[in-house]
Chain A
Amino acid sequence: MTQTVNSPHFKENARKALDDVFLQQALARSEKGFIERRKAAVEKLPEYDALRDSARDLKDHILAHLDLYLEVYEKNVIASGGHVHWATTAEEANEIILGICQRLNAKTVAKGKSMISEETGLNAYLKKHGIRPIETDLGEYIIQLRGETPSHLIAPALHVTKEQIEADFRRAHTGLPPERNLDEPTSLLAEARAMLREKFLAADVGITGANFLIAETGSSVIVTNEGNGDLTQTLAKAHIVISSIEKVVPTREDAATFLRLLARTASGLDLSVYTTFSTGARRAGDPDGPLEYHVVLLDNGRSNMLGGKFQDMLRCIRCGACMNHCPVFHAVGGHAYGWVYPGPMGAVLTPSLVGVEKGGQLPNASTFCGRCEEVCPVRIPLPKLMRNWREREFELHLQPAAARYGLGLWAAFARRPAIYRATTSLAMKFLRLFGGKGRFRALPLAGGWTRHRDFPAPQGETFQSLWRKRSQKR
């Protein structure tokens, strides 16, 4: 059971997203904050660009020696008392985790944030087998209550408004007085903290992702601002780390290089509040910590990306900056991309992992404005990779279908000229925010089509009026 792929419906998804009033409010609110916070953090660090170059080179070095660093990593996890499990597919990763949970008679599992577990559809799988997974990152908790999936790498509940969260809490937290005041975000946070504290203390197993794996010491690294990942892994009987294979880095010094970039680019902090290096299980004399430590290493198609046109995508450290700066993402949100990974990185990674037939139209969801590449901390040439996908479609003789998709997507936007303009002007706005020396390589979504084709007459009041409202607020 993996996360269902809904990417072929991008066009439909995008149209719905553009008509979704709540979503448009949520998106309008978030974009500026992300951009300005990153900008301020980067300006405070003169070495930022040099760090990006070295991080790019370091990732390339790691990927060229991936098999060997994984060997060293595995050896050191075992030497420090941990267990390593290898999974070629999502199903296999889920089975391994279920096996550990069942052996420990686990009823509930606390979960730190993990995009890999979204990729494997772990929550649904555990639930099907009678184990209750509880997301503990506040954003993940909110969307779990709503029965949704994350819409952003680091801000999973980006698409939800405060009022919606209040309604969800009133519905889910039934034991609390109905007349309580939840007007302020702080009271929502306090309520979630209290509800989840009980869950942490009761959970049998804690599952986290990993931002990095350190070969030198066999350590896994997580970063959080909430501290939920630490409570998840410290209080349970067993800590299970689920990670993909390309997260390995050689040494602690190398981890420091990436950590200097990650939080600044993601949230504008010098460092996330909690950066945690975990190595094995509870030691003799330790008064706390898990009794078992497991790492599940998932491939799920990544080893196929090595040595090919899309290897650069494996440099990604999941900071979210490319989507924060993407005009298409800010017009349609993360769910429209239809699978786990949204925005420009998702548009490249999704077809790599689920196949070009299912994910191949996402690379068309781009204005090719180039902002994503300009902000990427490991300098992934995202626009070029999106273009590679278009070529690949051609090679695979998928071109007629792909072209239809591309055209269809363009038409969906063009039928609503405001959206088309909005996307373009959004991009402009972004460029200005950055000091305005950007450029457009192509007109959004249309490419060469516009010169030769006629399109249906524009319509679609809904978005236009929405957009006008949105513009007035700026």
Chain B
Amino acid sequence: MKSREAIFANIRKSLRTGGEDGKRRETVAARIEKHPRGIIPARGQKADRERLEVFRQTVEDAKASIVILGNKDDVPAAVAAYLRSKNLPQSVRHGEDERLSLIPWAKERTLEVTKGASDGAQLASVSYSFAAVAESGTLVMLSGADNPTTLNFLPDHHLVVVDEKDIAGDYESVWDRIRERLGANKMPRVVNWITGPSRSGDIEQTHLLGAHGPRSLHVLVVRSS
């Protein structure tokens, strides 16, 4: 505790304030409560189908692949096709998310679907994203049993389903949705913003895909009817 007090005392001394200054406290409390938005780039601020088109572009710019499906029932075939195209075994793992359980996986006879977190042994995982952001081609994943965080990072291939209606223009809209779901200042243990497959620029400053996280990221958008 001594250090804590020393740090606060020194900050206040340097700022020449007593800390009990009511006006400063009000300013801080108001900013936290109102959480005003900053400058939001126009790029993502498009309506519906146009926003989807921006998202498709930004996802591809981030070196992920993307398919747009008319319907949830098309997901199994699209997953199987992706696995075939990468010469991968027909096997994926996903979490407890009800939206994933409702996908008719049995339509793909050879596709093995297991449930749970990853221990590093899986080559491909499927997650359902909470939201996405058109501005930068970003997927927003929340931790928990529905979509375990390890599925985002350990498998070589990460396949992510996102509903078209959940593609926001900007990050700020997604923060508001998280507030709606969890309460004013609450967060899940982890929020992962994922923008493209993992990469490293550490060998002679050339960007190479497939560092510690997935080597490739495949986004499956389910259109709103």
A residues adjacent to B (C-beta < 8 A) = 26, 29-30, 33-34, 45-47, 50-51, 54, 58, 64-72, 76, 80, 86-88, 92, 136-139, 142, 155-158, 161-162, 165, 185-186, 188-190, 193, 196-197, 200-201, 215-217, 219, 225-228, 230-231, 234-235, 245, 250-254, 256-257, 259-260, 267, 269-283, 285-289, 297, 299, 303-308
Instruction: Let me know if A286 and B185 touch, CB within 8 A.
Output: no
Query: Which of A71, A87, A306 has most chain B Cβ within 10 Å?
Result: A306
CA gap between A59 and B6 in the complex, in Å: 23
Among all A-B residue pairs, the 10 with the closest Cβ atoms: A227-B213, A226-B211, A139-B202, A306-B14, A257-B38, A275-B193, A86-B4, A303-B10, A251-B35, A287-B117
Given contacts A68-B28, A231-B153, A271-B195, contact A29 B204 (CB under 8 A): yes
Instruction: Let me know if A188 and B203 touch, CB within 8 A.
Output: yes
CA gap between A166 and B99 in the complex, in Å: 46
B residues adjacent to A (C-beta < 8 A) = 3-4, 6-8, 10-12, 14-17, 19, 24-25, 27-28, 31-32, 35-43, 58, 61-62, 95, 116-117, 120, 135-138, 143-145, 148-150, 152-154, 170-172, 175, 185-208, 210-214
Residues of A within 8 A of B210 (CB): 186, 189-190, 193
B interface secondary structure, majority: loop
Apart from A231-B153, A273-B196, A303-B14, 9 more pairs, CB < 8 Å: A34-B205, A47-B42, A217-B187, A234-B150, A252-B171, A274-B198, A276-B190, A281-B189, A308-B14
Residues of B within 8 A of A46 (CB): 41-42
Residues of B within 8 A of A305 (CB): 14
Residues of A within 8 A of B135 (CB): 270
Given contacts A252-B35, A253-B37, contact A65 B211 (CB under 8 A): no
Instruction: Let me know if B35 and A279 touch, CB within 8 A.
Output: no
Residues of B within 8 A of A231 (CB): 153-154, 212-213
Q: Tell me the smallest distance from the CB of B45 to a CB of chain A, in Å.
A: 11
Given contacts A162-B203, A225-B211, contact A287 B195 (CB under 8 A): no
CA gap between A232 and B81 in the complex, in Å: 32
Instruction: Let me know if A227 and B153 touch, CB within 8 A.
Output: yes
Residues of B within 8 A of A70 (CB): 8, 11
Q: Tell me the smallest distance from the CB of B23 to a CB of chain A, in Å.
A: 10
Residues of A within 8 A of B61 (CB): 270
Query: Which of A72, A256, A282, A288 has most chain B Cβ within 10 Å?
Result: A288
Instruction: Let me know if A230 and B192 touch, CB within 8 A.
Output: yes
